[in-house]
A and B are shown apart, each in its own frame.
Chain A
Amino acid sequence: RKEVEQDPGPFNVPEGATVAFNCTYSNSASQSFFWYRQDCRKEPKLLMSVYSSGNEDGRFTAQLNRASQYISLLIRDSKLSDSATYLCVVNPNFGNEKLTFGTGTRLTIIP
């Protein structure tokens, strides 16, 4: 089983719709979680950290479910500029900075 698993998509979603991605992780001791966004031919950029209590940043909401070992990302009122690949990222070891990246979920927002 992969350490971090994501549905690769692609997700093709009409503009204005709500879209959600899930990501599962295998190490129950994982300590920190992030969502990164990667545009075509660009570097990954931090979208948001994921906190145990869940957190929101504008149209984006991230949730963590430790019992089921998954994190989610919800995008409301999707914009054309949200088209990108979304990478689920997990730090599986406390005190170790190594991050494990999922292979990404590709999202295309359709006008």
Chain B
Amino acid sequence: DARVTQTPRHKVTEMGQEVTMRCQPILGHNTVFWYRQTMMQGLELLAYFRNRAPLDDSGMPKDRFSAEMPDATLATLKIQPSEPRDSAVYFCASGLYAGQQPQHFGDGTRLSIL
């Protein structure tokens, strides 16, 4: 089965450090989404891309977060500088922009900022 691949699976670092999370979408999918999940907030959409173009990053704190898609097989989410409140699970999902299609999630990156 094709899967969305995320790295790293876990990340523990000190506040102020840069964090980069990577995502390889399912081959052939042309939409990519970054979500953050916490116990308090549930799943929040941070940013999404269609055909590598950023379409919506309104859910992302712009001062410290950035999302890019340098090629069709790689999406990145970067936090600089990181803060303890960024601790969460970050999921990448990909889908196919063809009608109303579901999204498929990666295993997530469990981030802890000390």
- Asked if A45 meets B105 with Cβ closer than 8 Å, knowing A91-B100, A97-B97, A98-B56, the reply is yes
Residue numbers in A under 8 Å from B91 (CB-CB): 43-44
Q: Which of A31, A44, A45, A101 contacts B100 (CB 8 A)?
A: A31
B106 & A43 in contact (Cβ 8 Å cutoff): yes
User: In whole angstroms, what is the CA distance A26 to B75 when docked?
Assistant: 32
**Interface residues of chain B: helix, strand, loop or mixed (majority):** strand
Residue numbers in B under 8 Å from A45 (CB-CB): 105
- Asked if A44 meets B56 with Cβ closer than 8 Å, knowing A97-B50, A98-B45, A104-B42, the reply is no
Q: Which of A34, A43, A102, A104 contacts B107 (CB 8 A)?
A: A43
Residue numbers in A under 8 Å from B56 (CB-CB): 98
Residues of A within 8 A of B (CB): 31-32, 34, 42-46, 49, 87, 89, 91, 94, 97-99, 101-104
Residues of B within 8 A of A (CB): 31, 33, 42-43, 45, 48, 50, 56, 91, 95, 97, 100-108
